Structure 1
């Protein structure tokens, strides 16, 4: 089957990691699949042989956004895929429209956030609700039980098309030496080091991670990622006298994320809103003890099938993060227990299991005549 995945921006983010794994898994199953980005934001996908870009740089203003949407429609018309899988708000909307114009037989949307009622996100939520209710896309994937519950008030027709496929999370292929990892990223060799990763945006709340350094004067913090909060984070660290213990390593490509994680003694995450928390689960599976914000979805995804917690859940502020990290330092047995539980999440979030879920949706001809593939999948 010929498949195109539609993403909004090309950068090293969670949604992009998922489409990478889906693409790799479906290609291994014999499908022809490419990913098109509406625009190039960083260079992380420049050498990806399966990636295409509509625009070479982020669109400026309304005209730029229209240009990206029209360019995407033209790309899909030229590609003529059998199926289109869309990601992120704009990718879902413009990818679905472009897929319809291209005559795609199957369109699968992915929900990357909970419904919103205000601002631009509120408008996008209403458009998504209409598309899902009218069946403009055929299936609507959510990535956790918590996320699925956020759509419980949507129309029944929308909910019939919604199903859960947990994110797949890759595991490191081999052990990575901590000292070598620290040297590779220019991190201090002898310090107790907490690491974190993710786009530097207000909702990711990395300011709280930096604030934890104020409470814990003996530790260092390394953060992988870029984004609009970079300057604010640097300024906060400087004004609070912790800049020398904060290490911003910039964007780390997916191929090196486990090398970065291997440099840490623990993983810290202070996000205020998530639908899954791919970066945190990735860290847990890599063998790091995790301290994370006390969100219901975090408790869901960081609990093993044997009901073991794979993280400490704390208030998403500087004091809460500091308290959790201090517990790990004071109680090595606790840190080891959490790390072991995190590694047991490997099978629970197997990329192969995720890809099998998508492939089931991509093969409607395998279902009995008249059977809705989403209904069949949910009952399986």
Structure 2
């Protein structure tokens, strides 16, 4: 197998050397539990306090508005279930979109079992929610709007500012799953009317198993995990000090280098997309043409199966992912691809390339050659 080419940064990213270095002392000599009173505990408390300040600065928040979690899924669950419970006396209606991550969709489905009503906004063929449909969906019973910042499959960036403006005017809490956006595009929770926001460290070159939930000052949110007094009594459990330190360092670097890295990824993405559209037949790019996450390319190839194509790409050392999931030997089209109404003959051939800071034009060229070879093989087999 040739040298590995990693084009799946939306799934996870490598931990930067600087991040590993920042974490190392808190895995070894500074291993204290921050709930203890002696010096080891104070070192841990100081490190977590500093990390909270760094993360808050990176998203233009206040340190007291940052709550540490185990990642994006926990943050989504906490925001949605807790807000729903806190405001249920005012109403039990939630608005979300049809293309959310399953951490959001399954949280909403759980609440439906408890008697809540959920409106799932449709999106257009570019993956955007309609502000008109959002306003029409709001009722006197609506107590939460949750719409993601950037879609994990097709990369479309939603009109978060407009959604938040509507929510704030109607005095409805607004949550956004920003797992794919934090560290990738500039975000200011002061300039944008966001009440709650989820993030996960391993999407921006931090460690796995740690994330945060931003909660705007004044938003009432109850405890999600009960036990000790950690996170101001809102989220019990011994703090993951090395992970929190690593997340803060990773986000600091991501924001510091964002302008350069973002411009570079967009140039490389556009080069990749241009070659795909010019040199291949039966292809379509999914998602918004320019209002999309920097490194995202979601493409559907007509007449092929994504699982088979990904297997052949893997044999050539290329890591990508499917826009569809394999279930009991059958290709199942993802809910996002269904929602944007990709024709069936293309939908089953949907794959996602997500570029990162280390990818090169040479890797794109090599991937183009691999695609040409393997698409020919698959289409010839299909024709037999």
User: What TM-score comes out, normalization by structure 2 length?
Assistant: 0.27
Answer 1 or 2: higher relative contact order, Cα 8 Å, separation at least 6.
Answer: 2
